[in-house]
């Protein structure tokens, strides 16, 4: 069992992930998960990629990413940032007029 499974030298996701995931807890206890691109030219087995990818000091943009989260965080939804809140707000169908329009559309589609 498992005899034909290729060995992954770079660890989980080395062949199809292009960045490292980080978990950030804000001063107000908000929790955000985000990814940053790997700062390496190669993920091959000759490098020490598997271990180095988990070292935060290798990601020079980490501080900027955390500052952006702090700047754009929103209390409208749990652990949300403003761009996501706006995207949700402008794509959601309101229960009032939007719901009535969908009811009308469904009724006309089901009419004989």
**In which region does residue 79 sit, left (phi positive, over 0), alpha (psi from -120 to 50) or beta (all else)?**
left
Cα–Cα distance between 35 and 65 in angstroms, integer?
9
The two three-digit tokens of residue 51, written as one number: 């271990």
Residue 85's contacts (CB-CB under 8 Å, 6 or more residues apart) are 74, 76, 77
> pLDDT truncated to tens, each residue of the chain (112 aa)?
555 555 555 566 666 778 899 999 999 899 999 999 998 887 776 568 888 888 999 999 999 999 999 999 998 888 899 998 998 888 877 777 777 888 888 988 888 7
Record the tokens describing residue 79, joined without a space.
């652990």
Question: How far, in Å, CA of 96 to CA of 100, rounded?
Answer: 6
pTM of the model: 0.66
């Amino acid at each position: 069992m498992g005899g034909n499974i290729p060995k992954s030298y770079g660890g989980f996701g080395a062949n199809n992930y292009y960045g490292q995931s980080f978990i950030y807890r804000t001063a107000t206890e908000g929790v955000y998960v985000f990814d940053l691109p790997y700062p390496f030219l190669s993920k091959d087995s000759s490098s020490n990629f598997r271990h180095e990818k988990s070292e935060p000091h290798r990601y020079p943009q980490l501080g900027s990413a955390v500052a952006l989260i702090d700047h754009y965080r929103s209390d409208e939804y749990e652990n949300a940032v403003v761009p996501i809140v706006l995207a949700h707000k402008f794509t959601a169908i309101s229960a009032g007029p939007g719901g009535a329009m969908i009811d009308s559309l469904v009724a006309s589609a089901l009419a004989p």
